[in-house]
Amino acid sequence: GLTNTAVQLKMFEVTSCEESIVFGPGILDGCAAGVPVSVIIQAKDTNGADRWCGMDEFSVAMKRELSKQEIKDGVADDPIEVEIKDQGNGTYRCTYTLPKGGTYEVSVAFAGTFNGLAGPCRG
């Protein structure tokens, strides 16, 4: 005989770098060196709606602003390790520890997972 089976599917739009946002204490002035700090990435689709699942790929990089003397002396900081934890709900917790005081630039980029729009995210 014939059997009917109902299957419920939940579809999603892919992530867009132009709509995804970065927020949290790790992008504010005044972070203490030597203390772990985090930022949150909220993945959003091309319509600006929050993504409700994970599996996207992001990269996070920090670069310290060097003084003129450091530039002249050829100083180069070691890369700062960032742990990116997929929360499974469209958010990603990024935790890092700044090794020394100074002014840092935080760059967050979406890798284009699932053929989404890749590029830098705003914060």
The model's pLDDT over 47-68, given as tens digits with 9 standing for 90+, comes to 999 999 999 999 999 999 999 9
Which pTM value belongs to this model? 0.88
Judged on CB neighbours under 10 Å (0-12, 13-18, 19+), 93 is middle
**For residue range 25-43, what is the model confidence (pLDDT) as tens digits?**
999 998 999 999 999 999 9
pLDDT, mean over the chain = 93
Pick left, alpha or beta for residue 53 (phi over 0 → left; psi -120 to 50 → alpha; otherwise beta): beta
Please answer whether residues 110 and 84 qualify as being in contact, where contact means their C-beta atoms are separated by less than 8 angstroms: no
